[in-house]
């Protein structure tokens, strides 16, 4: 059913919870896992270094359970980059966490990254709270 799964990540607790769900799906369907970290185009060098460290951490996390991942660090508007990359790799599913911030000051219009991905995605999106 799912051959290619995209797992966009950040340092939130919700990403860790979504990672556990991704592991179950990858193992059940023997799918290929792609991990994507998106940097703001104006990110500093230390932010870019942080993304590379995060990628290394997530590779080790999945390696512990025998899952080899393909990784990418990209720049741009997060939701658009996620959806473009999902389209590029022909993803069957996007698994991502949600910080539940769509009604906070950070997202006064009610549109969080996960909500934007749901609206723009070329494939189903599993949002893990």
Per-residue confidence (pLDDT) for residue 123, from 0 to 100: 98
**In order of start, what are the domains of the chain with their CATH numbers?**
4-128 (3.40.50.620)
Total Cβ atoms within 10 A of residue 73: 14
Instruction: For the chain, give the mean pLDDT.
Output: 89
pLDDT digits (tens, 9 = 90+) for 11-36: 778 888 999 999 999 999 999 999 99
Q: What average pLDDT does range 74-85 have in this prediction?
A: 95
pLDDT in tens, 82-117: 999 999 999 999 999 987 654 444 545 557 899 999
Kindly tell me the burial class for residue 50, based on how many C-beta atoms sit within 10 Å of its own C-beta (0-12, 13-18, 19 or more).
middle
Whether the CB-CB separation of 55 and 94 falls below 8 Å is answered with no
What's the confidence (pLDDT) of residue 100? 61
């Amino acid at each position: 059913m799912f051959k290619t799964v995209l797992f966009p990540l950040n340092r939130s607790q919700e990403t860790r919870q979504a990672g556990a769900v991704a592991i179950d799906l990858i193992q059940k369907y023997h799918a290929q896992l792609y991990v994507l970290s998106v940097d703001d185009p104006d990110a500093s060098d230390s932010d870019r270094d942080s993304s590379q460290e995060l990628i290394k951490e997530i590779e080790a996390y999945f390696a512990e359970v025998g899952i080899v991942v393909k990784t990418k660090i990209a720049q741009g508007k997060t939701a658009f980059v996620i959806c473009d990359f999902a389209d590029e790799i022909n993803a069957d599913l996007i698994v991502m966490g949600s910080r539940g911030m769509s009604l906070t000051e950070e997202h006064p219009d009610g549109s969080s990254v996960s909500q934007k991905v749901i609206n723009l995605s070329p494939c189903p999106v599993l949002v893990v709270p």
